[in-house]
Structure 1
Amino acid sequence: MEESFRFVQSLDSLISNHNPIFNLAGSYLRLPFVEDKEMAIKLCCFPKDPLEDVETWSESVDKVLGCKAGQIAFREFLKSEYSEENILFWLACEEYKKIKTVPEMISSANRIYSEFVQTEAPRQINIDCGTRENITKNISQPTLTSFDTAQKLIYSLMARDCYPRFLKSDIYQGLLRRTDSR
């Protein structure tokens, strides 16, 4: 997530009139399609060209989610559709599954629950009441699989509903045009 990105020195030196130029692994890249400064900063912080895999993203939602740059672009798209909570929840679940200690699992499970699952959560995900109730019932004794059912539902929603729109979006089409023009 954000802490894993190497941020470059100064925001001012990177951004100029919605037409930022970034130094990516020694080469400069113009990103005229990026209007969101935060997304532009995130895309600039990869050791290799983040747009190298853009064409493969149209193969499946897994290709998008399996790539940091894809996650960023998809997140920006979901943010524009007011459904950013879906990818944030999915990513939180992926990190949750890597937890090694019980205290960390309890803490992380409670954070995920309060942020995404509980009724009226700030970023409440759209899951059925049975799944929500099951998580609520078991949150006091979480396991590494506590959110699996909800994560699968959200993944399915993104794959079936959001992903096809993402492929048609200005964000993805702009990235595709950028790679085609190189």
Structure 2
Amino acid sequence: MWKISRRFSLTGRLCCFPKDPLGDVETWSESVDKVLGCKAGQIAFREFLKSEYSEENILFWLACEEYKKIKTVPEMISSANRIYSEFVHSDAPRQINIDCGTRDNITKNISQPTLTSFDSAQKLIYSLMARDCYPRFLKSDIYHGLLRRTDSR
């Protein structure tokens, strides 16, 4: 996972990006999907969520996106248990904010996970990010700082 820190910024070209990572910053204001669909957007949004103490939302959403790509049952079981213990379990270190019915349903079925095991929780977290966090991100110093960097080129 990429990090933005005092030592690392999204300015300039990075070898892991095929094009300028900030070339799409202006499009991020169109939708949360534009932010989440871009590696640099994910990094910036994660940094913003971290500043609001809600980084677990994007980490869970990203983990679910990777989970859906799993091809083998053993890998699915292992990954499902990791996601559950990190984000869903009532004592999880990065517990996500979901209703008890959704949490109970995942808990009940975690012993036999499927590729859709986390879909309902992922939709809730996506909705929370889109409705609540994303509008604040667009007003944040992080986003406006990146916009200024792209404007000054």
TM-score, structure 1 length as denominator? 0.76
What is the 5 A alignment of 1:1-182?
Answer: 45-182=16-153
Evaluate the alpha carbon distance shift between residue 89 and residue 25 of structure 1 in structure 2; reply closer, same or farther with a 3 A threshold. closer
Q: Which 5+ residue runs of structure 1 have no aligned equivalent?
A: 1-21, 27-41
Classify 1:177/1:23 alpha carbon distance in 2 versus 1 (closer, same or farther; 3 Å): closer
Aligned to 2:5: none
Superposed CA deviations along residues 149-176 of structure 1, whole A, max 9, x for unmatched, are 0000000000000000000000000000
Query: In 1, are the aligned partners of 2:10 and 2:22 still within 8 Å (CA)?
Result: no
Distance 1:23 1:177, change over 3 A: closer
Percent identical across equivalent pairs?
93
Q: Which has the higher strand share?
A: 1
Going from structure 1 to structure 2, the CA distance change for 1:58 and 1:103 (only over 3 Å counts) comes to same
**Structure 2 contact 44–142 (Cα < 8 Å) conserved:** yes
Q: CA deviation at 1:47?
A: 3.1
Give distance in 1, aligned partners of 2:90 and 2:101. 12
For the 8 Å contact 2:67–2:79, the answer to whether it is kept is yes
1:69-119 superposed Cα distances (whole Å, 9 cap, x missing partner): 000000000000000000000000000000000000000000000000000
- Whole-angstrom distance in 2 between the partners of 1:23 and 1:143: 38
Structure 2 gap segments, 5+ residues each: 1-7
* Structure 1 residue 46 displacement after superposition: 2.2
Preserved CA contact (<8 Å) 2:45 2:137: yes
CA drift of 1:48 comes to 1.8
Change (3 A) 1:93 1:167: same
Give per-residue Cα distances to partners, 1:111-139, cap 9 Å, x unaligned: 00000000010000000000000000000
My pick for the range that moved more, 137-146 or 47-56, is 47-56
Structure 1 position 44, deviation (Å): 6.7
Contact 1:24 1:47 in 2 (8 A): no
Sort the Cα spacing of 1:137 and 1:43 in 2 relative to 1 into closer, same or farther, 3 A: farther
Name the SS for the 2:34 alignment partner. helix
Q: Which has the larger radius of gyration?
A: 1
Q: Find the aligned partners of 1:148 and 1:44 in 2 and give their Cα distance.
A: 33
- Larger relative contact order (CA 8 Å, sep ≥ 6): 2
Distance 1:148 1:64, change over 3 A: same
Q: What TM-score do you get using the length of structure 2 for normalisation?
A: 0.90
Cα contact 2:10–2:40 (8 A) shared by 1: no
Aligned residues: 146
Going from structure 1 to structure 2, the CA distance change for 1:123 and 1:145 (only over 3 Å counts) comes to: same
CA distance in 1 between counterparts of 2:87 and 2:36 reads 19
